[in-house]
A = this chain, B = another copy of it.
């Protein structure tokens, strides 16, 4: 299983990532998820979210999740990009691609990855309000 992980402050160029997809002729399904910063969090209007990472542990925990995916599904490739630092409303903070032979596997593995990430990967967010300097 090919594993590609990027944790970076750079904007996520989804089109370029999609254009770089590689999948073998036995693969039939590619599932993507883009998590985008929303304007409202609770009652507060945000201009963005600041993401902080304990990077070495975040990378390790992502790789533990990838290993668990490989155990459960015949995934050929997983690519994950997580932004850190300030991410403006309407921009993607997370991008995931999962490639598998069939649709059900790809969807299940992609959702598993995101749920496990939200429980284990050492990244935190802090809402930056519209009115902040």
Contacts and interface: CB of A to CB of B under 8 A. Distances in A.
- Give the oligomeric copy count: 2
A: interface residue count bin:
20 to 34
B36 A29 contact: yes
A63 interface: no
11 contacts: A14-B18, A14-B19, A15-B16, A25-B89, A26-B38, A26-B39, A27-B36, A30-B32, A30-B36, A32-B34, A33-B106
Task: In the A-B complex, list the 4 residue pairs whose CB atoms are closest, starting with the nearest.
Answer: A25-B39, A32-B32, A15-B19, A30-B34
Nearest to A97: B32
A75 to B, nearest CB: 14
Contact of A25 (B15, B18, B38): B38
